[in-house]
Structure 1
């Protein structure tokens, strides 16, 4: 049974998006694809069962008939962690994962396995990336995300790629570099990629940064903040590419508002001046904090412009922190984002070489 384990070295690297994108490409080529997310640290409950949200989304998009609770055999909860720490755990987690892997792979040409948010995730319960790929004897494709603002000349990309190679050794079949700013693409392709390949690290693709793919929908902000919708109930699918905080004077805020397109502005419900300024620029959503109702003039103007106005009880800082926790994660729930990502893979991922190296 062929398998590909897709992991990453840091959170929000685009691992789920890549797993789904490769799976769809394989299906389009006529391959029967299975999917498994062996370990989940983001559980949610549906129908009395604990599921993983990402795994359920991938299952639906790939059209798999496997029950969603079978796609994430090990869900790390507080209770499971307590059992591990107290030495009372009676389950063989590796065996459970192996059994699920065998089941989802029945009659499939390949099973895509989506690893944790980082290579260290799951160490405490013995189901980290290295343990799993050794036990299951599967090749690994690692997503390495660009962090140019933190490192000199793409050094973080090189460090992360070489660290992955050191940890996984021959099990690492290669990497995909993700979220590379367009102004850095030439440097990464002509300098970083040849260097990495000279170190024995195959680079299957260099994906450019696209803020649209990391945008949040208005609906995701509504759900995260449990917000009351004052205008724009029909705008849940509209996308937000930037977040801006209106806690300063209008004079200070306007230049930033003008630079940021398709943004959500977080400000107090009593800051009519900031709200009016935001509405005169490219604003998708106003998040008004402190449960302070805006004026009828603001609501009327927002309706005219097609801007969603949300009301929340949180302080501005609290609301921003809660949304920041999910902002920047590549979510492909909107069809137009999925199509855009697929087009990016077609242009920038060496799919033919990946398939050849997998023996498919």
Structure 2
């Protein structure tokens, strides 16, 4: 009989996929058999108005992780249901809360598999309850162990973990605190972690906040802003880590831009001086708001430097709000992020302690 491990969180975009990558890579390198899936699909490029739900239902996160780790198709577990406004309406019409026959089949497959079944759960502790696939329901139904990845802000961040421990009981084997301000990591390890351990919460890792993992691609900003791409269409894979607003005088702007890296700069379409200054800094894309079109010399310079130039209909404040909401709320679907996630988990998580709790023998490689 194999082992089942659920990776969950108290809130969405907490870093579950990064931990999954680190765990799966380490086990694969040591020769362990491992399968991966998401019982409830939450990330899928699907248009409900044009096509039925694809079968087998492979979540985009699952496909990316499988491709990154070189998993064969039979090591990717199809999702049982897809969460979306359309399917929620359908579930409400059925008036049922269980996951149905396919969940029983999953239980049988998991029990028969001799390796580790690694499953990433939905965004929060109780998301998926309507489908019978919330984290507590899965833990109980599969007899699985659980690791929670939890965003850490301050001491109040403890409360959701304590509530989760009460809900999950003995299924919870540990937590990983994520996105900790780098200068707070040591203080957290020495002052907070011992208290959490005393509460019965095994802390398996304290991972510092990563601008790279929180970054967003230019293409994602284009999508969210409904922006027009004026030049460098092929450079939309660039990653934006910080946001700057070009609303000051040009001398102040240049000094400010020099201190930032991998920026998206938002400024009015009429501020050519700020726009040209931004192009000479660590800028990944320049976003123009308001009326007016960019001058030809600006477009020429952006093309010379391979910096995408975007034009949006929103005012500067609205555009900034949209961009700020994007940081830290995008999927881990870029190879450079995956590579960094491997290192982050390896350096900051006690994977051997986790494997011991799962009764897995894993040799260092």
TM class, shorter-length: 0.7 to 0.9
Q: 1:112 deviation in Å?
A: 0.8
Q: Does the aligned pair in 1 maintain the 2:81–2:131 contact within 8 Å?
A: no
Q: 1:254 deviation in Å?
A: 5.2
Q: 1:251 deviation in Å?
A: 6.6
Q: 1:84 deviation in Å?
A: 3.5
SS at match of 1:44: coil
**Partner in structure 2 of residue 151 of structure 1:** none
CA distance in 1, matches of 2:322, 2:108: 38
CA distance in 1, matches of 2:74, 2:270: 48
Query: Are residues 1:49 and 2:53 paired?
Result: yes
Q: 1:145 deviation in Å?
A: 1.1
- Give the structure, 1 or 2, with the largest relative contact order (CA under 8 Å, sep 6 or more): 2
Equivalent residues in 2 for 1:52-131 (5 A)?
A: 52-66=59-73, 71-86=78-93, 88-89=94-95, 92-100=98-106, 102-103=108-109, 107=113, 109-131=115-137
Unaligned stretches of 5+ residues in structure 1: 148-153
**Partner in structure 2 of residue 19 of structure 1:** 20
Q: 1:355 deviation in Å?
A: 1.1
Q: Does the aligned pair in 1 maintain the 2:242–2:261 contact within 8 Å?
A: yes
- Return 173-182 or 332-341, whichever deviates more: 332-341
- Return 346-355 or 291-300, whichever deviates more: 291-300
**Partner in structure 2 of residue 238 of structure 1:** 238
Q: Does the aligned pair in 1 maintain the 2:7–2:16 contact within 8 Å?
A: yes
Unaligned stretches of 5+ residues in structure 2: 361-365
Equivalent residues in 2 for 1:173-212 (5 A)?
A: 173-212=173-212
- Return 3-12 or 224-233, whichever deviates more: 224-233
Q: TM-score, normalised by structure 1?
A: 0.86
Change (3 A) 1:84 1:335: closer
Q: TM-score, normalised by structure 2?
A: 0.85
RMSD: 2.8
- Return 280-289 or 230-239, whichever deviates more: 230-239
SS at match of 1:298: helix
Q: How many equivalent pairs are there?
A: 353
Q: 1:272 deviation in Å?
A: 2.0
Change (3 A) 1:168 1:107: closer
Q: 1:327 deviation in Å?
A: 1.9
Change (3 A) 1:91 1:62: farther
Deviations 1:101-125 (A, max 9, x none): 5447764510111111110212344
**Partner in structure 1 of residue 144 of structure 2:** 138
**Partner in structure 1 of residue 363 of structure 2:** none
CA distance in 2, matches of 1:179, 1:285: 25
CA distance in 1, matches of 2:140, 2:318: 42
- Return 17-26 or 247-256, whichever deviates more: 247-256
Change (3 A) 1:325 1:56: farther
CA distance in 2, matches of 1:312, 1:108: 53
CA distance in 1, matches of 2:342, 2:268: 39
Change (3 A) 1:175 1:300: same
Q: Does the aligned pair in 2 maintain the 1:36–1:104 contact within 8 Å?
A: no
CA distance in 1, matches of 2:259, 2:69: 38
- Return 219-228 or 209-218, whichever deviates more: 219-228
CA distance in 2, matches of 1:323, 1:100: 39
